[in-house]
Structure 1
Amino acid sequence: MGTTESMTFSIGEVANAVGMSVHALRFYEREGLLVGPIKRTAGGRRRYAQVDIAWLQICTKLRESGMPVAELQRFAALVRHGPGNEPERLALLDAQRDRVNQQIHALEQARNVIERKTDIYRQHIRDGNAVGLWDPTSKTGLD
């Protein structure tokens, strides 16, 4: 097969390696989210390089973190353009990190509410007072 750099992979192999469907992988290509052109066999089948897999792994994590497709397109375009635009790339990643930190904070607050409520329910169950945990006639109605 040759060295890792010269190995190529089918669309199915790449989809499996990055945890996405073949359909999603084609969408990424159509939307300009890849950083290099995808080579094709004489029969027109896509052949991806290891660098494509590495880039797609970054893309999938950015999408999982909620980065909008438009920003991911911009990031990919900057990478395709080559060196010299690192401050713009950094600004995109900084903004996404800030959004992720906000999401983490919101999830931590939600987890705190859930933990508080589960503690109340556990205590009621331990004490044998599980009847009427949600009582609209109580002072708070939020037991």
Structure 2
Amino acid sequence: MKELRNHYLLMKRDGFTASGELIGATESALALLDIGFWPLFKRTPGRKMVKPGQKALIYLAGRDKDCQRIIASVTIESIAEWSKQLHAEQYPLMLDDIPNLVLNFSDIQIFKTPVLIKEHLDKLDLVPKQNPAKWGMAMVGGMKSLSDNDYRVLSGSI
């Protein structure tokens, strides 16, 4: 029987501010955490599985020196449809597409010490065991569901 997954990895890479200034993944993710919501797009895998009360970790994607690490945990308080009136005006980054859902957060915990993914590859279910060097392939798509084990490892609980 397949394990029911109640945790997610939300991925953020560098981006542009609403005024067009290039900013790194850390600054982009912190800007979203500051407003307390995260957009999901129509092609985001697993977006229909997310439910209020579930937990998510914030992962910085990319190859910059501040990337490939988990910087925060959040609780998904609610899920709403994207509203141009409500969300677009507050959104601090330039959008590549129009989101269709928004995850509203509570209990935002920014880690004092980020969790480096590379230090835990051998403990993660999401990393392909037959070729762990290709672990980055597991980190595409904007969002990933996590096993309980992966959530504990990546949140620094283990």
Structure 1-normalised TM-score? 0.24
Greater strand fraction, Structure 1 or Structure 2: 2
Greater helix fraction, Structure 1 or Structure 2: 1
Q: Which has the larger radius of gyration?
A: 1
Structure 2-normalised TM-score? 0.23
